[in-house]
Amino acid sequence: MIDIRHSSEVAAARASGKPVVALESTIITHGMPYPQNIEVAAQVEQDIRDAGAVPATIAVLEGQLHVGLEAHELQTLGQSHGVAKLSRADMAACIATGGTGATTVAATMIAAHRAGIEVFATGGIGGVHKGAETTFDISADLNELAQTPVTVVAAGAKAILDLAKTLEVLETLGVPVIAHGQDAFPAFWSVESPLKAPLRMDDAATIARAHATRAALGLPGGQLVANPIPIQDQIPAEELAPIIAQCQADADTHGITGKAVTPYLLQRIFERTGGRSLTANIALVRNNARLAANIARSLSEITG
């Protein structure tokens, strides 16, 4: 058995039956510099508390799987260097070798499920990278959504991806993709993409019922809730498209592949937007955290 260390706050929530929302930790270690990473992580956790749920930031620290971090652990992680970026393939190895790693969407879903947490808030999921027909670069997040029963609240898939192919793969895998409050599939930093979302639901209670109904039917996997960034915080898609295309061309020129692609592209887009992409990213993560907390509260009322 894997020993899970719960933070004092999460342990108290488990004892009292209070709803819990999982959070990933790569945004802390790979998303922004210290101390901004800690400030944003603490802000997102507080957004969840303010919405009536308990945050559980997930990470592996010196071989120990943590579900919820104490304030000093969050500080330590935020200042650490050489932290592994964990997905399904390397999570067990990191634990077994006593390593320290930050969890991606896939790894966070795995840990959340083992800890009995059914709702997870993130920025954007991984998906099918542009040019995947030759590189086969497809995120493990998609298969995780197909097999691990956690509702993931995100602002769609990261805009650097091939969104149309990402939706096709999710459909093939049988993953429900639910746009919150609109018909269009959101495009991460932008409210809308040209793509229609397969499903639309307008409130947290309905999304929670869909999650519970999937469980009652014995269907494997989770569901993706695509929550658009608040319109006042977005960067319009038509402004971003040429920037993303140029950054992708730069990555190809420099031979950037595999796990290095996403952080490289996000950094280049940050530079080319004068930091606006990071500001938008923070806004959408906070927005997703609030919706996830409302879903977790609704689910708690359904399941008792």
> In the chain, how many H helices and how many E strands?
13, 11
SS3 54: strand
Mind giving me the DSSP string for 7-40?
A: -HHHHHHHHHT--EEEE-SHHHHTSS-TTHHHHH
- Relative to beta strand 119-121, strand 101-103 is unpaired
- Relative to beta strand 4-6, strand 64-67 is parallel
Q: Which amino acid is located at 98 in the chain?
A: G
- Two tokens, residue 299: 């689910």
Q: Which amino acid is located at 263 in the chain?
A: P
Just list the catalytic residues. Answer: 24, 158
Cα–Cα distances (Å) from 172 to 82, 90, 139, in that order, read 36, 25, 15
Contact 289, 47 (CB under 8 A): yes
Cβ neighbours of residue 10 closer than 8 Å, sequence gap 6 or more: 20, 54, 56, 67, 68, 115
Cα–Cα distances (Å) from 257 to 7, 136, 263, 286, 293, in that order, read 36, 11, 11, 30, 35
